[in-house]
Amino acid sequence: MFGLPATDRVGLTADAARRQGIDVATSQVELPEVIHRPETYETKPRGTLGLVADRRRRTLVGVWVIAPQVGEWIHTGALAIRAQLSVDILVDGIAQFSTFNEAYYPAASALRL
């Protein structure tokens, strides 16, 4: 329905963060395994969300996505990085509607901080 998945990223890659001396934790989730399908308007959602976090500060420093409609939900990662939002707060958040954006919760929960 929406064509090929798009790609987007915000912040640092894991390698770039390590070069800056950041002790990183990473996670990656496959969207079909972690989102509610009817609300995404996709019968067979596809895609991946990856997070890069600073273990010491417990904040995100990078997000990357390969998925449909990424322009509609990459902003959650951008806001979390810019505001230095604690991963704990991100995990405890509630999306207004179940969408691709809900993938942030299991991805953040999977970080080994």
Confidence of residue 46 (pLDDT cuts 50, 70, 90): confident
pLDDT digits (tens, 9 = 90+) for 16-31: 999 999 999 999 999 8
pTM, whole model, 2 decimals? 0.90
List alpha helices for 2-86, DSSP H: 14-19, 31-34, 75-82
CATH of 6-109, one of 3.40.50.1980, 3.30.390.30, 3.40.50.300, 3.30.70.2190: 3.30.390.30
* Residue 82: φ, ψ to 5°: -60, -40
Q: Where are the domains of the chain?
A: 6-109
